[in-house]
Structure 1
């Protein structure tokens, strides 16, 4: 009886420890990966190298250049660091 209780306690503690780790590994913030829809829409009908401005998620104007990313033309902000956004 005590062995079953100990086993259940260890299992529960293991889950409590592992669930936050799994959440962080999958992005943590719940934010989708890849370019935002606004960046994709800004370059619809445009060519690689075209300058565009689009409204970001927080209402800010973002000066960008259309570039091909993973086979799709998207607006990449002019102040984007080389290699993409910083990873958290």
Structure 2
């Protein structure tokens, strides 16, 4: 087998800001979820809600690769892959 294209950087990133009250969520390796340490909201690996009180998924932000640099741009990507 020949691999011609290696891993690529996604065109989006998941913002770690909880949509409930703006706390910073952390990735829990054991639960395989993002978890809000303050109010218990949980999100899956794509940022979708799996446990409230949050009512909205984690926001996505745009990733731009330019001149061998990775930049995060605070705007929604053109396509939401979820």
TM-score under structure 2 length normalisation:
0.27
Which protein has the bigger strand share?
A: 2
Which protein has the bigger helix share?
A: 1
Higher Cα Rg, which structure: 1
TM-score under structure 1 length normalisation:
0.26
